[in-house]
Amino acid sequence: MRRVLGVAAFTLLSALTLVARGAVEATSRNVSQAGLEPLAEPRPDMPKVALGRRLFFETRLSGDGTLSCASCHSLDHGGAEPRVTSLGIGGVAGPINSPTVLNSSLNFAQFWDGRAADLREQARGPVTNPIEMGTSFDRVVATLTADASYAADFSAQYADGITEANIVDAIAVYEAALITPGRFDDFLRGDQTALSADERAGYELFIGLGCASCHRGRNLGGTMYQRLGVVREYFGRNLGRLVTEADNGRFNVTHNESDRHRFKVPTLRNIELTAPYFHDGSKATLGEAVLAMGSYQLGRDFDTEQVRLVVAFLGALTGRLPTFARMPDKVSLTPEHK
């Protein structure tokens, strides 16, 4: 009797092992097909990160002293903003929705139209843009130089002290450190319990429906440009508003007609936190965004259950904000001011 039970137990164990192995292999195939890789915990140069963090939250980088980088890239809103389009100096409404700054160092270019090659170029642009922060770097350098704590902090990190190049470099170093690994990265490393059953089902749909053809790589996006409206026209008569210059996307940079309405594919990491969605902020909820992407990009009309499961998976892409991301109570980096 014990021998029979032993054989049965062994058979059951073997079957469970094969099922588990099959699940791991299926996951591995999906990961390979999507070109996905898990994120690693950031290990940044902390003194320079701390200086960049201070600058990121510094309102004196704007012409009227009211705006900082964090005004449009809120850490409480997934590194994006809870508005349709950005508000610049004097409350002027900008033309486009600010993308998240979290994990932005993983993008192959910056801004929706890719006009900045890296984070340094990206950090430089808004400061002098007349409808964003509306100032000049000469003025910013003079203002920060007059602050003894900034002078000391820059001298500790840069031999030539406070310069335009060093300001944007420090901001870029801070932004590059805003990497947010989470449960999905644990899943990619083989932990099948990291996602719920609905999240795993949503992930399978995400792969099977074709979403990963554009949202791929470590950042689940940020690796290519794609036309908004691949299968069905987005900027047609049903848009509900006039087409703007911002809607031209990559065309504004290259002036090639083939680039009209092409945008950098955004990251999906932390996406549940960053509503509203798309470059025009036109979709208020993640469910609406999923439906729209299915229609315009894939030519598919997702049903309610498909939307629910894909949204569940997207929720699993919310990661952990580094502990050093937020400003501490003390702003100076020098020992006497800590």
In the chain, which residue ranges form alpha helices assigned H by DSSP? 2-34, 46-56, 69-72, 119-128, 137-145, 148-157, 164-176, 183-188, 197-208, 251-254, 286-298, 304-315
**Selected catalytic residue, list 132, 164, 245, 336:** 132
4: left (phi over 0), alpha (psi -120 to 50) or beta: alpha
Q: What is the DSSP string of 72-125?
A: HSBGGGTTB-SSSS-B-GGG-B-SSPPPP-TTGGGSSSBSTT--BSSHHHHHHH
CA atoms within 13 A on the CB side of 60: 14
Interior/surface letters 303-325, b for 16+ CB within 10 angstroms, e for the rest: eeebbbbbbbbbbbbbbebbebb
Q: Is residue 132 flagged as an active site residue?
A: yes
129 vs 221: CA distance, rounded Å = 27
Only one residue has tokens 């003025």, namely 139
Give the containing element (helix H, strand E) for 262: strand 262-264
Reported residue count of the chain is 338
314 vs 20: CA distance, rounded Å = 24
Cα-Cα end-to-end distance for the chain: 73
Only one residue has tokens 């964003």, namely 132
- Residues with catalytic annotation? 132
